[in-house]
Amino acid sequence: MRTIHRVSALTGLLDEMQSELGRSQIDNAQRLAAELAGELESWRFDLMHIPPEERSRYQAPNGYWYTKQEAACA
């Protein structure tokens, strides 16, 4: 994906997250923040030329990437 398209996609996610925060939709904002972090991490791996099949050993756990079922079990 070209840089301008990635920056545009990330900007859109950030705008949506800010909108959710403005409406006090914290769960949605956290989901969007996790998605944004995942996209940035993927972009970083692309820039470092790490192939997708090798990325799992370098990926950091994302504490906000959860589902409602996982939250209910906690």
Residue 29 confidence (pLDDT) above 70: yes
- Which of 32, 39, 35, 30 lies closest to 3 in space, CA to CA? 39
Q: What's the rounded mean pLDDT across residues 31-48? A: 86
Indicate the SS3 state at residue 24.
Answer: coil
Mean pLDDT, range 21-36, rounded to an integer: 85
Q: What is the mean pLDDT of residues 36-65?
A: 84
In three-state secondary structure terms, 20 is helix
Residue 49's pLDDT is 92
- The pLDDT value recorded for residue 50 is 92
Where do we find the tokens 């969007």?
Answer: 32
- For position 35, what pLDDT does the model report? 84
* This prediction's pTM: 0.67
Of 3, 13, 4, 56, give the one whose Cα is nearest residue 34: 13
What is the percent of the chain with per-residue pLDDT over 90, rounded to a whole number? 7
Question: What's at 19, amino acid-wise?
Answer: S
